[in-house]
Amino acid sequence: QVQLVETGGGLVQAGGSLRLSCTASGRTFTRYTMGWFRQAPGKEREFVAAINWSGGNTYYADSVKGRFTISRDNAKNTVYLQMDSLKPEDTAVYYCAASGRRVATDRSWDYDYWGQGTQVTVSS
pLDDT tens digits, the chain, 124 residues: what are they? 899 999 999 999 999 999 999 999 987 888 899 999 999 999 999 999 999 999 999 999 999 999 999 999 999 999 999 999 999 999 999 999 999 999 999 999 999 999 999 999 999 9
Instruction: Measure the CA angle with vertex 23, ends 20 and 29; round to 5°.
Output: 125
How far apart CA 111 and CA 34 sit, in angstroms, is 8
Length of the chain: 124
* The one-letter amino acid at 31: R
Q: How many CB atoms lie within 10 A of CB 89?
A: 11
